[in-house]
Amino acid sequence: MTSGPIEILLVEDNDNDVELTLRAFKRHNLTNRIHVARDGAEALDFLFQGDQGVRATASEGPRVILLDLKLPKVSGLEVLKEIKSHQTLKTIPFVVLTSSAEEPDIAECYKLGANSYIVKPVDFDRFTEAVRELGLYWLLLNRPPA
């Protein structure tokens, strides 16, 4: 993580997927302000600064949260539910980036307020391209509220 506001919060427990995602962003020069949370509890601690209150408003960042569903400690669904129920953070875009293609998972994520649901491609080149497109859309094209 570098200084300045965080653009992407990547919530992922799989080291290989973290490395692939970071490599894909770097390869396409999309951002260098990424914070990685390795489980749901760490993501919530990052956003809420433990018991000290909210770290950032939606306008200050992160600009997008990439969220795996199958996480230790606190599930991705619980993270999504917690953030989307918080007045200050609920407008931060959530992209569920997971290996689950199960219809109940997809339906529940959208019900809880996910902005996008993407099943991780297994092939490295397709995964890299998916991450590139995510970065281009959410960091360059998407217009968040002020």
State phi, psi for 67 to the nearest 5 degrees. Answer: -125, 125
Does the residue 145 lie in any domain?
A: no
**pTM of this prediction exceeds 0.95:** no
Helix (H) or strand (E) holding 67: strand 64-67
Question: Looking at the 3D structure of the chain, how many domains does it have?
Answer: 1
Full residue range of the structural domain in which residue 64 is found: 8-140
pLDDT tens for 26-72 read 887 776 688 999 999 999 988 887 555 565 555 556 888 999 999 99
Q: What is the CATH number for 97?
A: 3.40.50.2300
Q: Determine, yes or no, domain membership for 2.
A: no
Average pLDDT taken over every residue of the chain: 84
pLDDT of 3 reads: 53
